[in-house]
Amino acid sequence: MKETPAKILVTNDDGYDSEGITVLRNHLDSLGKVVSIAPTFDMSGVGSSLTLQHILPYAEHIEDDIWHLSGTPSDCAYVGLHSDLFGRLGVDVLVSGINDGDNISTDIHSSGTVGAAMQGVHLDIPPVAVSLCTKKLADETKHFETAGWAARRFVTFLLNCKIRWKRGIFFNMNVPNIPISDLHSSQWKWTTLARRGCPTKCVKHAERRYSIGNRGSIEHFSADMDALAVHSNFISVTPLCTDMSIAEPRGSLYDE
């Protein structure tokens, strides 16, 4: 592990006062200095968008090492990484979450949780997005403690790891919404992204007022996919990369 206490920046897209980020801070606190800066309001679904056309309202200090900002999750991560919230110490690792709801398959492209994590890919230790796979039902028990426990174990692994990670790598963790004792394994499972169909319904509510329909369904399962891992009560960790280009495009663009 690092000889000095780790400097951990925490953010999310559900808002600074959400249960998930509170649990995450509590679980990471023993690993070092934890500072959180998160959106003032729920900013789910904004992806990695940044506010570029106007000056952000000032970051408001709530209590020791807890801030909120009237911006997107990526705005919060960017300010936390590049401002003086840690003084001149810098940040060792960025953790985004705990999101209330899964971020599996193509959800990652619109996820504010994942988008915020991407802002930390320049760090030596890859950032992590953490989501609890709730169904957001009114009577649902939400096991944020399970996700906090899993996040702490994975961040500990990253802090201890001697691997020199490739630039642009980050991790997407999805945790089943069950007690820790019900997990299939205490170890996470390395996964790939499942394939999900696109939403096909646009709901009209009134004149010129619309909402996007439900997410598409998972098209098929394979043993290493994130959706199947969570369904089987495994903690899913999917390595991702900001470089979305195809390494060898010639001959690989066609579905034969």
Query: Would you list the DSSP string of 50-86?
Result: ---SSPPPPPEEEETTEEEESS-HHHHHHHHHHSSTT
The predicted pLDDT at position 190 comes to 98
The pLDDT-based confidence of 245 (bands split at 50, 70, 90) is: confident
Percentage of the chain modeled with pLDDT above 90: 71
Q: Is the pLDDT of residue 45 over 70?
A: yes
First vs last C-alpha separation in the chain: 47
The predicted pLDDT at position 255 comes to 67
Beta strands in the chain (DSSP E): 6-11, 32-39, 60-63, 66-69, 93-100, 128-133, 169-176, 189-190, 195-196, 202-206, 209-212, 218-220, 236-241
The predicted pLDDT at position 170 comes to 98
Q: Which domains does the chain have, with CATH numbers?
A: 6-241 (3.40.1210.10)
* pLDDT single digits (tens) 71-98: 999 999 999 999 888 776 789 999 999 9
Q: Is the pLDDT of residue 2 over 60?
A: no
* pLDDT single digits (tens) 164-219: 899 899 999 999 999 999 999 999 999 999 988 777 778 889 888 988 877 778 87
* 181 phi and psi angles, rounded to 5 deg: -65, -20
The pLDDT-based confidence of 252 (bands split at 50, 70, 90) is: low
